[in-house]
Amino acid sequence: MSVSEADVLDPRFLQGERARLFAIAWTRATRAMADIRALPAPDDPETECLRAMAGHLAPYSSVPVPILRTPEWASESVMEVLAANAARIAEQSAYQAEQKRNSPVSKRVEMLLDRLGVVEYVEKECGLRLVRVPGEMRYTSYIFYDAPGSFLQWHLDARHIVDVSLLLCIDRLDDRDADEASATYAVTPTGVERFHFQPGQALIFDGAFTLHGRSPVAEGENVTILRIGFRLADAVAEV
Ligand SMILES: [Fe+2]
């Protein structure tokens, strides 16, 4: 008996625990085959396999390719506030999460982001209706790559928490040339894409259907990212 296309469950319909398991399965499968600390050459079999995996995920992604922007709302004064806040939080409450440190932002920072119209900005950039992931989900957080070798291995985000992410670079100190420094990577059907972005620049992508991660920082380097999560308004309404 053959299985028709209509019989295959669309992963966008998976909710809750099923959505979490979907992200775990793809993350484990990718990590079993590829390591972001040793990126393959474009013609390497590993790259071909990553591209094929991205090809399977791409039809479901609500952001076809990652978008790199310099948002107007990330003004000099806003960046100063966020950098000072992140530095304080790094001292006080950051905790180890895999090979990096995380800390949810404060309620005040969440209110600042809402006042700046970050949700509306991402909606416009992506042509989507979105809801920001609430603070208690701990997704809107600072990520600190501040110890030598800190990195984030290939993964998919769990869709029961987040669909679209915005990664705003808050601060970075590179000791190496821009083309060698730690960067965010995303796999698309055309290849492994590198995003080396500066404070004030932001990357927007659908992390639930785009494999992504960060290559390691070296001794003396550090990168601070503000990660803001969004869910599709329609998906939230369905629950
Ligand atoms: Fe992620």
The H-assigned helical ranges of 9-159 are 16-33, 45-57, 76-92, 107-115, 118-126
Per-residue pLDDT band for 139 (boundaries 50, 70, 90) equals: confident
Radius of gyration of the chain from its Cα atoms, rounded to whole angstroms: 18
How large a percentage of the chain has pLDDT more than 90?
Answer: 84
Ligand 1 center from residue 2 Cα (angstroms): 35
Phi/psi for 217 (5° steps) reads -85, 150
Nearest to 214 by CA among 235, 228, 193, 237: 193
Which CATH topology does 59-238 take?
Jelly Rolls (2.60.120)
pLDDT of the residue at 238: 64
β-bridge mates for residue 186, sequence order: 193, 212
- Of 91-100, 131-140, 183-192, the range with the lowest mean pLDDT is 131-140
Average pLDDT over the chain reads 94
What pTM, to 2 d.p., does this model score?
0.94
Nearest to 180 by CA among 167, 194, 191: 194
Q: How far is CA 53 from the centre of its chain?
A: 18
Residue 235: its H or E element:
helix 233-238
Ligand 1 center from residue 156 Cα (angstroms): 6
Nearest to 230 by CA among 142, 136, 118, 152: 118
Ligand 1 center from residue 100 Cα (angstroms): 12
Ligand 1 center from residue 57 Cα (angstroms): 15
Longest dimension (CA), the chain: 63
Q: How far is CA 10 from the centre of its chain?
A: 22
Residue type, 95: Y
Average pLDDT over residues 106-134: 95
Ligand 1 center from residue 20 Cα (angstroms): 13
Structure tokens at 84: 């000072």
Q: What is the DSSP letter of 5?
A: G
Per-residue pLDDT band for 76 (boundaries 50, 70, 90) equals: very high
At 41-74, the pLDDT tens digits run: 999 999 999 999 999 999 999 999 999 999 999 9
CA angle 148, 150, 153 (to 5 degrees): 150
Ligand 1 center from residue 162 Cα (angstroms): 9
Residue type, 19: A
Per-residue pLDDT band for 136 (boundaries 50, 70, 90) equals: confident
Distance CA 186, CA 157 (A): 12
Ligand 1 center from residue 1 Cα (angstroms): 38
Q: CB neighbours (10 Å) of residue 46? A: 15
Residue 172: its H or E element:
strand 164-173
